[in-house]
Structure 1
Amino acid sequence: MAADDSLLPIAILIDELKSDEPLRRLNSISRLGLIAQALGEERTRAELIPFLSDNVDDEDEVLLAQAEQLGNFVPYVGGPQYAYLLLPLLETLSTVEETVVRDKAVESLSKVGSNMPDSHTCEHFVPIIKRLGSGDWFTSRVSACGLFATAYPRCTPMLKAELRQLYSQLCRDETPMVRRAAAQKLGAFAKVVEREYVSRELMPLFTDLTQDDQDSVRLLAVESCGAFAQALGQAEATTMLLPIIHKFAQDKSWRVRYNVAQQLVQLCEVLGPDVTRIELTPNFVRLLRDSEAEVRVAAAGKVAAFSKLLTPQQIVTSVIPCVRELSMDSSQYVRAALAGVVMEMAPTLGKALTIEHLVPIFLTLLKDVYPDVRLNVISKLDQVNQVIGIDLLAQSLLPAIEELAEDKHWRVRLAIVEHIPLLASQLGAEFFQEKLGPQCMKSLEDQVASIREAGARTLQKVAGEFGAEWARDHLVPHVLGLIKNPHYLYRMTVLVALSMLATIVSQDVLCNLMLPVITTAAKDKVPNVKFNVAKIMEKLATLVPRPVLESSIRPVLLELCEDGDMDVRFYARQALYACDHGATA
């Protein structure tokens, strides 16, 4: 924006907002904050806000931007004492037909309301809730549901009673969309209402919503279970919520059961381990064996988290049989969800039970035909190693890993390469040399560029893990041996790998072993290889002594500066500049 844009007079703003081009109006609305700053607090209150209030009939995109901007407008109108001036405009926006505009307006209303003095909340904010909550159109009543939690803690006892009464009307509204909004926001409202009223007034409303004939209402009511459990306390929550949870877990709508699967762990943490083990475990097992794949996906993704609340023996008795079934489920998405978390059960089960029950399941998942399943298992291998140890991991899982390193799906091969540093750090240098090293070298000659790049990064990480001397003996010779590959793309990868190892190895190895190979590559027939040599030498200029730079690097770069390819010349000159300004003494 130009320097004088912030001084736009109100007349230009009006012209832009009245433009026939929605983009111009949107641009104007998006800089309301700058315009308000230029006008000052008094003119913003006296001119800008009234103008905006008179021009709310517009494109949804413009209204959405306006609703968003007004949520941050309190400082521009003069602070909290003038925040109430923003409420009428946001109230209007919260009644429009477009859902995203209403939602943003309610969000901004809550933001503005939370910045107002308590007296203004009672005087200005609560009347808006009452008007919206009793509006003729369902859109306004839907919006009202999202405002109660902001206003309630700051109201007088009389107003609090009125708000609770109004919320009860919304929970019993004849329009499903309103009941849905009331169910969705009831948990947030319960968090700010006094405990006696939660159990006496809100709990009956919640119970009614859980029995609503619309499954869209019931599934949103599920999301309030955790908030109610916290608001009621453990004893009351156990008495009042358990029957509802049992019923939800067997609801005729799979969407409701799906939400129960998503929320159950949170509920278990509130209700405590005893209730979880005795009352809720059968529900979880039922969800793991649900007839709908979507429910099994949600439940499978919570297996590890739920198992942490159980004893190892109970996991073996109740959960492991389900996990075994899910590892062979007909849905690939169920298997993928399970594979992403099942390894995390190992610390809870301990070594003996992991070896007996989990390792066979791991091996089944590692051989799955669906690549995402295999990827998810690989990403959590470290969880198992911490429990069962190096030797058993090597015996049982490494053959599968070696097979996956040759997988036809490139993302699986990439995942293997990226996890090698983690495995190497846990399994040790000797194991890496025998089992993982060859896979690393193969990755430098993979057909997929991302895998070749990952292979170079992996070598650098492994060298950093085991040290410069180890890298000199066990990595550098193998990498140097690949420089004669007939395909130029692979030769370029080797150069990249050498440049990364250059930061790890000693100066002696760099100057006597690696630099001669890089220098020879400067005579390659392919320009891409040559300008990569120039790039690497720019990097090496800061790593080698001045005499080596002058005798080995500078002559090569000078020769490349005369190359017939313009890119080679460009990078060579850039590297020469680095030689002159960045070399070590």
Structure 2
Amino acid sequence: SSTVKRSLPHSLYGRMSSESQEEYYPVAVLIEELRNEDVQFRLHSIQKLSTIALALGEEKTRTQLIPFLTDSIYDVDEVMVAIAEQLGDFVRYVGGKDHAPVLIAPLESLALVEDVNVREKAVESLRRLTREHTDRDLQDHLFPLVQRLATGDWYSSRASACGLFAVIYPRVNEATKLSILEMAKTLATDDTPMVRRALAGVLGELALSMVGCPPERDRSSAAQEVDRLLSESQSESSESLNFLVGGGPGKADPSGAKRNGGPGLMLNVSASTLPRLEETPEVLAARKQIVAVLLPLFNTLAYDDQESVRILALESTVAFARALSPEECEEHLIPAVLKAIAFKSWRARCLLASKFTDLQLAVGPEVTKRCLLDTFLSLLADDMAEVRSAAASQIKDFTANLLTSPAPSPAAAPNGESSSSGNAPISMDFSQASEDASPPPADSVSGGGGGGAGGSNSKLPKAGDLPDGNDQQSLPYLTAGAGATPSSGAAASGDLQNSFVLQKLLPAICDLNADSNVHVKSKLGLAILGLAPILGRDVTINHLLPIILSQLRDESPDVRLNLISNMEEVNTVVGVDHLSSSLLPAIVDLARVPVWRIRMAVINQMPMLAEQLGENFFDEKLMQHFFGWLIDAAYAVREAAVLNLTRLTEKFGSEWAKQIFLSEIVKLSHNENYLHRMICLQCIIHLSPVLDASISKDVLLPTALHMNQDRVPNVRFKVAQALAKIGEAIPSDLVSSDVMPCLQRLTEDPDVDVRFFANQAINSLKSLADGKSKANGNANTQSMQVDAVLPSDELMTTD
């Protein structure tokens, strides 16, 4: 106690009366731990700062605890990170929003620290504090903080300032907004790369805030904000709440928010869920300012000598596209981006490839067709495998967005014109899409190793030529609707498929299929599988199926595994005939490959194949492979075979199981290999709940009882587990007469594991029997109560 008294500031402890000292002694101990040499003690105390604040009260927290923390804030990095995190949620302990500015001083000190983790946490807490400040306090207290940080001598100060621009900008006056933009201009040419990197990471977020989109928020803070809004106003629209939960139109990803030493928090925008901004006069004016001020900064940072700065600047491309109109994107943003990725770094091209569909959605279909098609093809043919892999992963979404682009919303339609159909394809003329690149010859679209179909560049079939209605549904861009004449938009989409997909994209896919890099081919395989339902049956059979067959025979196990694990979409599109004649032989070949993961992936596809091929075809062609998988050398393969046999039994029924494979399962119980005997029991465990009780009684129970004296302990305890499952499926008299005696014998087994599982099975069956008895008793009681209420037959028949 004396140590605590001596070490604490006089204002916190020395002036207290003796009674107050006793009352606040636990708090004094926590404060003393802030000075402990052991870091863990200090961290424990910091985690209890809210307890200390509650004990002290709001006034003493403001006047004593916060100054104490500010004066003694410098510590090891872990402690400072913890303090910064705590102070971000400390407004309630200092008296609410009116006193929120008192928290700025300690967080400002932490924002100056050289360690990037401390700075990031301090800036994150300051960003949370902005929501607790009134606009006036923001102008009077937080903007001066930003000014101090932006003009500080240390690079850590200037880097921290960048993270606050976007949260300050929307809530200050016009003069202050201009000052913020001037600070951004100055920091864009800062001598220290870390400062330029921090600014590059928040340029997109600042652009979005200028047009009225809220800045990035972490998920927990967004959830708290939603709760607050709900409590304050029940009339808040669901759109506003979703806006907050999603982190605002920026759709930021907190997991990627802090990277490369930038304290603010790089914005990761996904355009797929973002509505087009309403073009109000304020938004139009803000866009002009973005073009005049921020885009030059973007160009400067995108050509920076430091690669990390260039990469972070290009990260903001989608956010800029979201903030600007499609016309401004085409005129100003896209040329700058394309010039930047051709500048030096392959990593910049890789970044653009990974975000290509987000950029496509942000700029809209018209700008995409005029500016981005050739760029996408060039990324698919890039010299670096990483770039090709990233671009290949975007093929499916890029093509789907291109061919099924929804009509623009009223807010997005140029000149305020709205579309008459919400999902009608947009009419696109691609005659000028690729002036520099002539289309390849028709015979260049080859099967890529599959042979057979796909050697020629066949025209896309018209809607009327499709074999059935399902194919029309799979080609939405070819038809204008049931019984309707194809619209000009649908015809244009068909032209788009001929001009881009068939003549340019498919040849590029064929080239990627011959790529020597395994990762590229794996990404391509997934893209092709995703393209099948988009392009429809004919295109899939003629052009994609040969590539799929080629990949199924690829020498790389990873390529084959990636493809076979995701075959369902293709199988649905190509139909039973091509599935059985083309894909099935390749799949069956994979069932015998040495790589156990591929064998397991093939097994997991069996229920889907059985559903599409039918019971008879499956029994004749595929069922025989299950018997080999049940005795596979890899345990995971054997287990997968058991699980999928169970799924097939659920689909085809108990009689099918009895006729097709139960006899083979019983044969395994006599096998010399104990692993095969164990897989027999594993089958019994999984099948007994889905088979009829009569089959469990006549087939499964005798098999399990026969194995209870097996010489291998592992088999015997598996018998106990099997009997527990069988006991749940058969009549209780058989459980008493056959199952329980066997389990009692196993409880006396020399092996401890056998005794354990036998006792476990007995307890399980007893609990089951007690539950049934209780249920029957309740039913009888209810029946007696009903009989007591109803009149007797004599009374009912008496006049």
Q: TM-score, normalised on structure 2?
A: 0.69
Of 566, 585, 589, 1:399 maps to: 585
Return the alpha-carbon distance in structure 2 between the equivalents of residues 493 and 60 of structure 1.
Answer: 55
| 1:169-568 alignment runs, 5 A limit | 169-194=186-211, 195=283, 196=285, 197-308=289-400, 309-310=402-403, 311-313=496-498, 314-568=500-754
Deviation at 1:298, TM superposition (A): 1.1
Q: Work out whether 1:149 is the aligned partner of 2:149.
A: no
The structure-2 alpha-carbon separation of the partners of 1:436 and 1:312, relative to structure 1 and needing over 3 Å to count, comes to: farther
Residues matched between the structures, number: 580
> One-letter code of the match for 2:670?
K
Q: Once the two structures are superposed, what CA deviation does each residue of 1:460-518 show, in whole Å capped at 9, x if it has no partner?
A: 22222333333333343333332223222332232222211112111111111111111
Q: Decide whether aligned partners of structure 1 residues 104 and 465 sit closer, same or farther in structure 2, where only a CA change above 3 A counts.
A: farther
8 Å CA contact 1:414, 1:451 repeated in 2:
yes
Tell me, in whole angstroms, the C-alpha distance in 2 between the residues paired with 1:251 and 1:237. Answer: 20
CA displacement, residues 204-228 of structure 1 (integer Å, 9 cap, x when unaligned):
2223323333332222221111111
Q: How does 1:70-219 map to 2 (within 5 A)?
A: 70-194=87-211, 195=283, 196=285, 197-219=289-311
Q: Using the TM superposition, give the Cα deviation of residue 438 of structure 1 relative to its aligned residue in structure 2, in angstroms.
A: 3.0
The correspondence for 2:46, drawn from 21, 29, 40, is 29
Question: How far has the Cα of 1:410 moved from its partner?
Answer: 2.1
Q: Cα 1:78–1:351, aligned 2, differ >3 Å: closer, same or farther?
A: same
How far the C-alpha of 1:373 sits from its partner, in A, is 1.2
Structure 1 residue 437 displacement after superposition: 2.6
Question: Matched residues in 2 for 1:510 and 1:329: separation?
Answer: 53
- 1:42 Cα deviation from its structure 2 partner: 4.6
Provide the aligned C-alpha RMSD in A. 2.3
Name which one, 1 or 2, has greater alpha-carbon Rg. Answer: 2
Q: Describe the shift of the 1:85–1:522 C-alpha distance in structure 2 as closer, same or farther (beyond 3 A).
A: farther
AA matched with 1:206: F
Look up the SS of the partner of 1:96 in the other structure. Answer: coil
Report the CA distance shift for 1:368/1:101 in structure 2 as closer, same or farther (over 3 A).
farther
What CA distance in whole angstroms lies between the structure 1 residues aligned with 2:649 and 2:53? 57
* Counterpart contact for 1:29–1:66, Cα < 8 Å: yes
User: Residue 22 of structure 1 aligns to which amino acid in structure 2?
Assistant: V
Q: Which amino acid aligns with 1:365?
A: Q
Distance 1:38 1:362 in 2: 68
1:317-340, CA deviations, whole angstroms, 9 ceiling, x for partnerless residues?
111112112122122222222223
Kept after mapping to 2: 8 A contact 1:440/1:458: no
Q: What is the rounded CA distance, in whole Å, between the counterparts of 1:476 and 1:31 in structure 2? A: 63
Counterpart AA for 1:277:
K
Distance 1:567 1:35 in 2: 53
Q: In the aligned structure 2, how far is the partner of 1:573 from the partner of 1:426?
A: 44
CA distance in 1, matches of 2:97, 2:635: 56
Structure 2 CA distance for partners of 1:444 and 1:92, relative to 1, 3 Å: farther
Shift of the alpha carbon at 1:408? 1.7
**Which has the larger helix fraction?**
1
What is the DSSP-based 3-state SS (H/G/I as helix, E as strand, rest coil) of the residue aligned with 2:728?
A: coil
Match of 2:758 in 1: 572
**Is the CA contact (8 Å cut-off) linking 1:249 and 1:283 kept in structure 2?**
no
Range with greater deviation from structure 2 (380-389 or 170-179): 170-179
Cα-to-partner distance string for 1:179-229 (whole Å, 9 max, x where unaligned): 222111110111110342223322222233233333322222211111111
**Structure 2 CA distance, aligned partners of 1:46 and 1:318?**
70
Residue 276 (structure 1) shift: 1.9
* Partner Cα distance (2:739, 2:552) in 1: 48
- Aligned in 2, Cα 1:90/1:379: closer, same or farther, shift over 3 Å? farther
Instruction: Give yes or no for contact 1:251–1:257 (8 Å, CA) kept in 2.
Output: no
Task: For residue 252 of structure 1, report the CA deviation from its aligned partner.
Answer: 2.2
Task: Tell me, in whole angstroms, the C-alpha distance in 2 between the residues paired with 1:301 and 1:27.
Answer: 46
Q: Distance in 1 between matches of 2:157 and 2:95?
A: 28
Which residue in the other structure is 1:3 paired with?
none
Separation of aligned partners in 2, 1:298 and 1:284: 11
Task: Say if 1:563 and 1:106 are closer, same or farther in 2 by CA, change over 3 A.
Answer: same
Q: 1:94 to 1:582 in 2, by over 3 A?
A: same
Cα distance change, pair 92–321 in 1 and its aligned pair in 2 (3 A): same
Alignment-derived partner of residue 223 in structure 2? none
Name the amino acid aligned to 1:65. Answer: A
Distance 1:35 1:365, change over 3 A: farther
Check 1:524–1:86 CA distance in 2 against 1; reply closer, same or farther (3 A cut).
farther
8 A contact 2:27–2:55 mirrored in 1: no
Give SS of 1:19's match: coil
Aligned twin of 2:488 = none
Supply the distance in 1 between the matched residues of 2:658 and 2:590 (Cα, whole angstroms): 28
Q: Distance in 1 between matches of 2:661 and 2:50?
A: 58
User: Structure 2 vs 1, CA of residues 33 and 362 (structure 1 numbering), >3 Å: closer, same or farther?
Assistant: farther
Q: Distance in 2 between matches of 1:81 and 1:517?
A: 78
Q: Give secondary structure in 1 for the equivalent of 2:611.
A: helix
Q: 1:179 to 1:347 in 2, by over 3 A?
A: same
Distance change in 2, residues 1:265/1:511 (3 Å): same
> How far apart are the structure 1 equivalents of 2:53 and 2:738?
63
CA distance in 1, matches of 2:511, 2:342: 20
Q: Deviations over 1:520-554 (max 9, x none)?
A: 22221111111122223233333322112112211
Helix, strand or coil: the match of 2:766? Answer: helix
What's the CA shift string for 1:148-170, capped at 9, x where partnerless?
22222222233222222222222
Return the letter of the residue paired with 2:296: P
Q: Which amino acid aligns with 2:99?
A: Y
Q: Name which of structure 1's ranges 572-581 and 282-291 shifts more when overlaid on structure 2.
A: 572-581
Amino acid at match of 2:696: L
Give distance in 1, aligned partners of 2:740 and 2:138: 74
Return the letter of the residue paired with 2:291.
S
Shift of the 474–49 alpha-carbon distance from structure 1 to 2, 3 Å rule, reads: farther
Aligned to 2:453: none
Inter-partner Cα distance in structure 1 for 2:643 and 2:94 = 54
How much has 1:46 moved relative to structure 2? 4.2
Verify the 8 A CA contact 1:8 1:38 in the aligned structure 2.
no
Give, in whole Å, the separation in 1 of the partners of 2:395 and 2:49: 49
SS in 2 for 1:447: coil
CA contact (8 A) 2:321 2:363 kept: yes
Kindly indicate whether the alpha-carbon contact (under 8 Å) linking 2:30 and 2:48 is maintained by their aligned counterparts in 1: no
Please report how far the alpha carbon of residue 391 of structure 1 lies from its aligned counterpart in structure 2 after TM superposition. Answer: 2.0
Aligned AA (1:535): Q
For residues 8 and 428 of structure 1, the distance between their equivalents in structure 2, rounded to whole angstroms, comes to 77
* CA apart distance, 1:47: 4.1
